[in-house]
Structure 1
């Protein structure tokens, strides 16, 4: 089952490095770029560029450059008119060799806010106007699990499958089943804009667990909720509940059980649990790994994708699904962000 990202949430999974692709719709204040990956043991340096073009010598509005060179530091800079500008440096290294990381660039009107592993790290003031930024680049000694554009109209355009620059993107998959690059989507046969899943609000970054929030407007048809997080070592289980806030009934209970190597689905209605559903073609949840859950609400069922691949459907047991207005997350999990 093909995964089509919702507007405002444009993921690329396991991209090859070096990575360079145009940003569909351009960069805007209010957007975020979220990168998850791993630092190899042999690292020297890597960089992330917000570039004004994909050609050699293009201006770079923001150059983020961790360097492991015996004087570990992060260098921040811009490149304009064929020359590097004045460097800014921070002699603190938030990345560790052999470890996972999450890196977030929050685009503000006056600066790029850089967060690393859930903590604010640096602010880099704009030297080049945001509207000139056309391309995101990642190069160097780094392995990337996913890159996500959150908010705005941004996503990846360009020649990512022969239909570039036309709007919505969707991941493609290699024969081994692991997510690969991207393909364009707007001009695909049978594509109708009205069929797009929807997301309405901004992302909430690094919320505490237990987490509980109201879903403004409820789970209407085509509504999408994204939960991204990390499963720590020693984790046993966690759950994501979609609930009717007034009655505390659970319309959908998603319960990855790490020790049992399964993902349990159920509902809690009229004071009791229903029949469990456990069948899955694979289990994407394991300790020490990031995950990305995308829950789509349809007229007859929920469709749930993990890391860009369809995991299961869950037929509505609570028929008035529009009254589902609360999300609750508890258990052995560290949340990176939640968006709906």
Structure 2
């Protein structure tokens, strides 16, 4: 990309960021685009056997002095007679009235997966796929732009996601979406088998980072004979996104070209009866028709291109 070339303006809800793997605690990072309803933060890690407490703070800036406001303070405590979680808000240097949640779903010496799902008025928190608590905001969610993790915790990965774009109007926990974040060391081309083909309701997820001087990115679905039945192709030369048929016919997708050098992306494909729905960075972009028979015959997903691949799931 030439230095004088300007990128297309991208709305905040398109701005995602790469996951962080094995960050050192205390860990503080900017939340690209801030928080908004429908955004999720995933924390994968483990609680040390001698842990006393840790906290996950969604902060309004990252300043050290004065201390920033904290819109959501999630604080598991293990050293008390009855382990519990404290949720609170720090405003103007003063803690508000705390909310206590007994029956702590986290345990010393055990791994966990925390999911924070931000709604219009409250955040919902699940532990290992089960709803644990909800906490109403006392400060505007729009002020939050920083994540802080402190205390006795071993963090394997932190991810920033959008809610499923295929669940219209839904604000519940997404189902069927794997939030376990994989190692970023996935070599290309990368393939995954589809032992039973594709069936209605199945979701394919690909997350990665575009390299500095990219040319193409392709996601191909192939049958048992290794013939490509459908391909999603991003071309960086003419900045187009298209479905490519087995005969090479291209059907352009009318949408902003969201693949940019050194930017994170997320591709979602939802299989439904006779079609594949596409979403990029949390935004639905229509579908391509494919007979149900053809969908069931698909046996391989293959990803190629000038990207660093973080996660592929089907």
With the length of structure 2 as denominator, give the TM-score of the two structures. Answer: 0.55
Matched, 1:67 2:67: no
1:50-89 aligned within 5 A? 50-56=58-64, 57-70=67-80, 71-89=82-100
Matched, 1:246 2:293: yes
Q: C-alpha distance in 2, partners of 1:16/1:189? A: 27
Q: Name stretches of at least 5 consecutive residues in structure 1 with no aligned partner.
A: 1-5, 153-170, 174-184, 202-211, 226-242, 254-294, 312-326, 330-340
Cα pair 1:244 1:251 within 8 Å, conserved: no
Aligned to 2:34: 26
Write out per-residue CA displacement over residues 218-273 of structure 1, whole angstroms, 9 at most, x where no aligned residue: 388x9799xxxxxxxxxxxxxxxxx97423112316xxxxxxxxxxxxxxxxxxxx
Q: C-alpha distance in 1, partners of 2:21/2:274? A: 29
Q: C-alpha distance in 2, partners of 1:126/1:90? A: 16
Aligned to 1:114: 125
Aligned to 1:190: 213
The equivalent position to 2:53 in structure 1, one of 40, 45, 53, is 45
1:41–1:198 CA distance, 2 compared to 1 (3 A): closer
Matched, 1:130 2:145: no
- Note the C-alpha offset of 1:42: 1.0
Question: 1:114 aligns to what SS in structure 2?
Answer: strand
1:40–1:129 CA distance, 2 compared to 1 (3 A): same
Q: C-alpha distance in 1, partners of 2:147/2:160? A: 10
Question: 1:24 aligns to what SS in structure 2?
Answer: coil
Cα pair 1:61 1:79 within 8 Å, conserved: yes
1:40–1:215 CA distance, 2 compared to 1 (3 A): farther
Q: C-alpha distance in 1, partners of 2:111/2:128? A: 9
Q: Name stretches of at least 5 consecutive residues in structure 2 with no aligned partner.
A: 1-13, 164-182, 186-208, 215-235, 237-256, 283-289
| Equivalent residues, number | 203
Aligned to 1:182: none
Cα pair 2:77 2:84 within 8 Å, conserved: yes
Aligned to 2:276: 218
1:124–1:304 CA distance, 2 compared to 1 (3 A): same
1:145–1:218 CA distance, 2 compared to 1 (3 A): same
Q: C-alpha distance in 2, partners of 1:215/1:34? A: 31
The equivalent position to 2:161 in structure 1, one of 150, 165, 177, is 150
Question: 1:246 aligns to what SS in structure 2?
Answer: helix
Aligned-residue CA RMSD (Å): 3.8
Q: C-alpha distance in 2, partners of 1:29/1:118? A: 20
Aligned to 1:11: 19
- Note the C-alpha offset of 1:126: 0.7
Q: C-alpha distance in 2, partners of 1:107/1:24? A: 15
1:96–1:54 CA distance, 2 compared to 1 (3 A): same
Q: C-alpha distance in 1, partners of 2:159/2:20? A: 6
Deviating 4+ runs (over 6 angstroms)? 222-225, 301-304
1:135–1:302 CA distance, 2 compared to 1 (3 A): closer
Cα pair 2:47 2:109 within 8 Å, conserved: yes
Question: 1:69 aligns to what SS in structure 2?
Answer: coil
1:131–1:215 CA distance, 2 compared to 1 (3 A): farther
Q: C-alpha distance in 2, partners of 1:38/1:190? A: 37
1:215–1:101 CA distance, 2 compared to 1 (3 A): farther
